[in-house]
Structure 1
Amino acid sequence: MSVDTRHPEYADRAPEWKEMRDTSRGARAVKEEGETYLPMPSGYRAQGDGGTRMYGAYRIRAQFPEIVAPTVRGMIGVIHRTEAQIEMPDAMLGLWERATADGLALEAFHRRITSELLLTGRYSILADAASTGSELPFLAGYSAEALINWSADRDFYVLDESGLKREGFEWRDQKRFRVLQLVEGRYEVERYEGTEKEGDTLQPVAQGNKALDAIPFVVIGPLDLSVSPTEPPLIGVARAALAQYRLDADYRHQLYMSGQETLVIINGDAPEAIGAGVVITLHSGTGEDGKERTPDAKYVGPQGTGIEAHRTAIQDERENAVSAGARLFDSAKKAAESGEALKLRYAAQTATLTSIAQASAQGLEKALRFIAIMLGQDPMKVVVKPNLDFLDSTLDPQAATALVTMWQNGAISYATMYENLQRGEIASAERTAEEEQAQIDKEDVDSDPVEAGLLDRSA
């Protein structure tokens, strides 16, 4: 077995990932795939060139609806409308500004995770050691297509790191793979160029030269941290877009043909030219049977009876695309729905925005905890709380005043009040209740001229 062998579940989901990538890139990517997404009408193949020219015109006239990428961007905006609350040990604070090897900030990396989950339903993160001991470990993200093989026991992963490599002013494809595995309870890394192993096996360690007993690698899905790939959450939107594309091709072909009327000459000779400025003269004559033939000339063309039906079908597919995207917002329990019914409904439907936001945060949290272990820090001090308020929940002044009054009267705790102020986007999402109280105390001291040392209390 070669290092580039694909897991059977990878082969099963890869066509869906490609479908999502192509539809997200838009019309150019979809049309470049030719008959993969737009079959050639059977009548075209009877042409001398196999229908190449006619199919080319048929494909060019068709319009692909650009709805997948805007849907993904819109949902990212909804999920990350307010930043997630992330707590880390002080030794890890440098990750806020530089979380990845290419300098991506932590919040931007979090958005990338969510984007990939929406698009393909899978993303992986490796907590990787820096090249020098003085630097922080960093987070390396891998798309669904990059994780090509794995074990259900999470003790073996193969990552495809192939890509372009610059040589002077030119670029060439380079096949590279990384193998992560646990061998006798110890984390090991192997690198391959092509299918040949490159260099020695590495055994990354935590601070203090302590061996790692788990692979610092996290696989994230749209529902949880399961290693098995699932259906992309927005596959329904992509398929509706492709259905519109095929319907639009037939619709525009009918429009084109209905405008291409053909001149028919009855009982006369065909003219050398037709069009504006050309005069066509027809002469009556006698046929072979001796009977007089009356000449005639007329334009005939298709009736276009299916045009309206195609227009209706396209509108239906647009509604299907909207419905497919709207299902992600359906996270509320239906009225009078039992717990078992709710469980079955969620097992049968795709991911929701809530589950995607939670999985994205859980995956990031677990990856950051691996970095904490590598730095000799307490991993439980790493906490990532996602934003789950997807609609505008800003508190108005009256509601905020009522909330503070309830706290002052002892009806709720300070922590409860502060959590509601955070959800209402009044208090900072980046500070805990304790940190906010410390900030208040500091401002009280700074504003007191005695405490600030500007005035002698005994004076």
Structure 2
Amino acid sequence: MAGTVSDKHPDWTDRADEWAMMRACARGEKAVKEAGESYLPMPSGFRAQGDGGRAMYAAYQTRAQFSEILAPTIRGMVGVIHRTEAQVEMPASMQRLWEHATADGLPLEALHRRITGELLLTGRYALLADASSEGSDLPWLAGYTAEALINWSPARDFFVLDESGLRRVGFRWREQKAFRVLRMEDGRYSVETYTNETLDAEALQPTARGGAGLTEIPLVVMGPKDLSVTPDEPPLIGVARAALAMYRLDADYRHQLYMSGQETLVIINGDAPQAVGAGVVITLKASSDEHQPDAKYVGPAGTGIKAHRQAIQDERDNASAAGARLFDSEKKAAESGDALRIRYAAQTATLTSIALASAQGLEKALRHIAVMIGASPNEVVVKPNLSFVDATLTPTDAAALVRLWQDGAVSYQTLYENLQRGEIASAERSFEEEYDLILNPMEQAEA
């Protein structure tokens, strides 16, 4: 059987549960609890109840707290990677993308942050250079999450994008199935669109400016390490797993606290009272000298509470080891500068690969746009920030760099790139533009 447009690649199916778990943990307690027993199994004793344990499970789940550590970790890492924005060079004809890079008006820097966030969350993101539907002569970039890229070919000559979602009909919103199929046929790029798995029309063949056909599908797939089409494990899956482990332990811990605080009145050799509590007097009468009545409260000893608390703390340590401590860049009291750099380099290895993949993917997507409008793709360059600690140059360091340039030991380009990394020179100007500004300050000021 040929299958249908909604069929999934086996690797997509293999990673789908991981992506769903990462999304739920990033959204927080509401999403995790809505998943019910997927992330918090019902204790077996609850099922013996008349309602199958639904009421007890609802209370058990309500008392539990989910530690929302994944989303703040991702936001912190995005902030570290984009502490200083990437340097992006583009032809003059593409400058409008700085303010309007996507169909929903997202600026280029914000799109770059979104890419980084998705790579941290699911380990996958795709960018399609797409012709504007508003008559603009400049294409824009359409982003697709890991879940939206449902099928592909290792040869990169076939992709299926799931564009299903809510569509407004009048005042109401309705769910609609929609798909986009990208193919290379006879050396030319073609696009098919489907609604509810039915082909809308004949395949379209997008062209570059001047009518030339595109010889490559303008879709870039990014992973946490490179631009491979094969899905990789989400970089922060360890943090999500630790958060869910804490959630399950917390549910048991709070259930024990609840049960140990709910003592039960036991009546021996007497009739049970109609009510208990403050203000109620309980009188027990002896039925005989041999069977004296007695009343007492009994409750669980709660011997496992301490062990649960320790287990929760252990999982917090696991979460830290999986990613939360990547931001611990403060120098220890007796730590040398070299030791700090070595320790921090080891901690930020994953951040470095993600920053590089994000920048490389954005660069390749922008180069696709350059080809589509007839500009030179080699004029597009994206240089990411790879300095995740404070790299500001001191005045002494800056002066030493300038002397090296004056003495002919380094080129002006090398000097300028170091000043950019040291956060002295502008990250948005090339060394040529900066040098021209030095030589012609009045012309630049008038401009």
Fold shared, TM-score > 0.5 on shorter chain = yes
Paired residue type of 1:215: I
Q: Which of 46, 50, 53 is equivalent to 1:51?
A: 53
In the alignment, what sits opposite 1:333? Answer: none
1:270 to partner: Cα distance: 1.3
In the alignment, what sits opposite 1:336? Answer: none
In the alignment, what sits opposite 2:338? Answer: none
CA displacement 1:15-35 (0-9 Å, x = unmatched) = 000000000000000000100
RMSD: 1.9
Hey, what's the Cα distance between the residues in 1 that align with 2:382 and 2:401?
26
1:133 to partner: Cα distance: 5.4
Paired residue type of 2:408: G
Q: Contact conserved, 1:233 with 1:350, CA < 8 A, in 2?
A: no
1:293 has 2:291 as partner: yes
Q: Contact conserved, 1:10 with 1:149, CA < 8 A, in 2?
A: yes
Q: Map residues 29-178 of structure 1 onto 2, 5 A cutoff.
A: 29-131=31-133, 134-178=136-180
In the alignment, what sits opposite 1:258? Answer: 260
Q: Map residues 54-453 of structure 1 onto 2, 5 A cutoff.
A: 54-131=56-133, 134-286=136-288, 292-325=290-323, 352-443=350-441
Hey, what's the Cα distance between the residues in 2 that align with 1:411 and 1:359?
32
Hey, what's the Cα distance between the residues in 1 that align with 2:193 and 2:207?
17
SS of structure 2 residue aligned to 1:115: helix
Paired residue type of 2:5: V
Hey, what's the Cα distance between the residues in 2 that align with 1:428 and 1:389?
15
Paired residue type of 1:315: Q
Paired residue type of 2:317: E
1:398 to partner: Cα distance: 2.6
1:415 to partner: Cα distance: 2.1
SS of structure 1 residue aligned to 2:309: helix
Structure 2 portions without partners, runs of 5+: 329-345
Alpha-carbon spacing, 1:192–1:404, altered in 2? closer, same or farther (3 Å)? same
1:131 to partner: Cα distance: 2.6
Q: Contact conserved, 2:266 with 2:297, CA < 8 A, in 1?
A: yes
SS of structure 1 residue aligned to 2:275: coil
Hey, what's the Cα distance between the residues in 1 that align with 2:97 and 2:16?
32
SS of structure 1 residue aligned to 2:235: coil
Q: Contact conserved, 2:164 with 2:176, CA < 8 A, in 1?
A: yes
Alpha-carbon spacing, 1:211–1:133, altered in 2? closer, same or farther (3 Å)? farther
Alignment TM-score, normalising by the size of structure 2: 0.92
CA displacement 1:240-287 (0-9 Å, x = unmatched) = 00000000000000000010001111222211111111111122331x
Paired residue type of 1:312: Q
Pick which of 319-328 and 184-193 moved more: 319-328
Alpha-carbon spacing, 1:247–1:446, altered in 2? closer, same or farther (3 Å)? closer
Q: Contact conserved, 1:223 with 1:351, CA < 8 A, in 2?
A: no
Alignment TM-score, normalising by the size of structure 1: 0.90
Hey, what's the Cα distance between the residues in 2 that align with 1:126 and 1:137?
10
Pick which of 92-101 and 130-139 moved more: 130-139
Q: Contact conserved, 1:113 with 1:360, CA < 8 A, in 2?
A: yes
Alpha-carbon spacing, 1:82–1:115, altered in 2? closer, same or farther (3 Å)? same
Alpha-carbon spacing, 1:214–1:326, altered in 2? closer, same or farther (3 Å)? same
Hey, what's the Cα distance between the residues in 2 that align with 1:364 and 1:308?
50
1:167 to partner: Cα distance: 0.9
Hey, what's the Cα distance between the residues in 2 that align with 1:326 and 1:74?
9
1:132 to partner: Cα distance: 5.6
Hey, what's the Cα distance between the residues in 2 that align with 1:422 and 1:132?
37
Q: Contact conserved, 2:73 with 2:324, CA < 8 A, in 1?
A: no
Q: Which of 22, 25, 28 is equivalent to 1:23?
A: 25
Structure 1 portions without partners, runs of 5+: 331-345, 453-459
Hey, what's the Cα distance between the residues in 1 that align with 2:153 and 2:201?
24
1:412 to partner: Cα distance: 3.1
Paired residue type of 1:296: D
**Paired residue total:** 427
Paired residue type of 1:388: L
Q: Contact conserved, 2:437 with 2:444, CA < 8 A, in 1?
A: no
CA displacement 1:12-64 (0-9 Å, x = unmatched) = 00000000000000000000010000000000000000000000000000000
1:409 to partner: Cα distance: 3.5
Alpha-carbon spacing, 1:91–1:44, altered in 2? closer, same or farther (3 Å)? same
Hey, what's the Cα distance between the residues in 2 that align with 1:294 and 1:158?
80
CA displacement 1:398-456 (0-9 Å, x = unmatched) = 32233223333334332222122111111101112211111111226789xxxx9xxxx
Hey, what's the Cα distance between the residues in 2 that align with 1:124 and 1:139?
10
CA displacement 1:211-242 (0-9 Å, x = unmatched) = 11111111100000000101000110000000
Paired residue type of 1:14: A
Hey, what's the Cα distance between the residues in 2 that align with 1:12 and 1:312?
34
1:101 to partner: Cα distance: 1.1
Q: Contact conserved, 1:9 with 1:229, CA < 8 A, in 2?
A: yes
Paired residue type of 1:247: L
Hey, what's the Cα distance between the residues in 1 that align with 2:400 and 2:63?
60
Hey, what's the Cα distance between the residues in 1 that align with 2:351 and 2:46?
44
1:192 to partner: Cα distance: 0.4
1:381 to partner: Cα distance: 0.9
